[in-house]
Amino acid sequence: MECQICRFGKVEVGHATVTLDGSGCVVVFQNVPAQICENCGEVYLDEEISRELFRRLEEAAKTGVVVQVMEFQTAAVS
């Protein structure tokens, strides 16, 4: 796949760090499965992974987390 941002690089399977900020809560997810542009570094996430990240952000916000860093584990994705 060609990168939709730089339109030059090829997108390859890898892992990325994703930071989400919402509802007064910031969560940094490490080791998230993604497709990453080899040229500009743009990160593309599957819809299922995106849904899971936002679900975990909402869960963290409900428990009163202000800032959290966590390892993303794909086994938890349903």
Q: Which residue range forms the structural domain that includes residue 28?
A: 11-71
The answer to whether residue 31 sits within a structural domain is yes
76 contacts 51 by C-beta, under 8 angstroms: no
Q: What is the mean pLDDT of each run of 10 residues along the chain (78 residues)?
A: 93 97 94 97 97 95 95 68
The tally of domains found in the chain comes to: 1
Three-class secondary structure of residue 71 per DSSP: strand
Tell which residue, 46, 51, 52, 58, has the closest CA to residue 22.
58
Residue 25 maps to which CATH number?
A: 3.10.20.860
pLDDT of residue 77: 47
Read off the pTM. Answer: 0.85
